[in-house]
């Protein structure tokens, strides 16, 4: 995670919460794309402000085969809260936690941000690493591995009763506790959003746990 001043483009804080699960080759692609997206976002903010337009809270999401990039602009602090996470992490949870991080940082370091912009002094922010670790549960906040609660025979009866359809059944069978929603989608050649909706339905029916 990177906290970057949108006015100067200077990083206030960098936190490696958890080892990034991808190859060195992929990292050489992911990180340049990450910083390119940050620079584009900063340019868009500056352009909007130069035209006298108010820049509101915004979240930019960039998904790829190996990673999920989220860039959150907190308008009160004018700080970008940027994260790179594994592609199979739960996006809704990532968005929620990055917004919490932004609000917590503003409450704790509002005056320190002004000092930073006047002096570039950023040592005051180092203690916030603990807050990021706690809010992200040590980098595990987006991990989601659904698990089937029924034995296969019972699941087949639920299918035969018409409570679930065949694709629901196929998704449920892949809920081994080791597969993320993205992995299940890839295994079944389905869209991730479609699988996530099915998982919500299966959870409501107490067929799986999330």
* Segment 64-111, tens digit of pLDDT: 777 889 999 999 999 999 999 888 888 888 999 999 999 999 999 999
Largest CA distance in the chain: 69
pTM flag (> 0.75)? yes
28 band by pLDDT with thresholds 50, 70 and 90: low
CB count in 10 Å sphere of residue 74: 20
pLDDT at 140: 81
Is 34's pLDDT higher than 80? yes
Give the per-residue pLDDT at 20: 62
Q: Binning pLDDT at 50, 70 and 90, where does residue 21 land?
A: low
- Quote the pLDDT of residue 61: 92
Average pLDDT of the segment spanning 28-52? 87
- pLDDT, tens digit, 9 for 90 and up, residues 148-189: 999 999 999 999 999 999 999 999 999 999 998 888 998 999
Considering only CA atoms, which of 174, 178, 209, 171 is closest in space to residue 193? 171
- Confidence band for 52, pLDDT divided at 50, 70 and 90: confident
Tokens of 136: 């992200």
Write down the pLDDT at residue 25.
47
Measure Cα distances from 155 to 24, 124, 164, 187, 201 in Å: 41, 55, 9, 20, 14
Helix (H), strand (E) counts: the chain:
7, 7
What's the CA gap between 43 and 33, in Å, rounded?
15
> What is residue 192's three-state secondary structure?
helix
Please give the Cα distance from 135 to 116 (Å, whole number). Answer: 24
């Amino acid at each position: 995670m990177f906290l970057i001043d949108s006015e100067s483009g200077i990083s206030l804080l960098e936190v490696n919460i958890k080892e990034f699960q991808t190859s060195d080759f992929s990292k050489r692609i992911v990180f340049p794309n990450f910083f390119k997206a940050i620079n584009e976002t900063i340019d868009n903010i500056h352009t909007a402000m130069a035209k006298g337009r108010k820049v509101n809270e915004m979240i930019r999401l960039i998904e790829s085969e190996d990673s999920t990039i989220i860039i959150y602009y907190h308008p009160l602090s004018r700080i970008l809260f940027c994260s790179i996470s594994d592609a199979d992490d739960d996006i809704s949870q990532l968005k929620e936690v990055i917004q919490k991080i932004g609000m917590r940082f503003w409450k704790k370091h509002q005056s320190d941000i002004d000092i930073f912009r006047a002096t570039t002094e950023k040592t005051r922010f180092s203690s916030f690493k603990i807050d990021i670790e706690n809010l992200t549960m040590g980098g595990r906040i987006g991990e989601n591995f659904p698990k089937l609660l029924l034995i296969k025979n019972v699941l087949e009866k639920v299918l035969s009763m018409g409570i679930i359809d065949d694709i629901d059944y196929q998704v449920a069978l892949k809920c081994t506790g080791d597969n993320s929603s993205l992995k299940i989608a890839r295994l079944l050649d389905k869209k991730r959003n479609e699988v996530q909706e099915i998982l919500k339905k299966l959870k409501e029916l107490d067929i799986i746990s999330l």
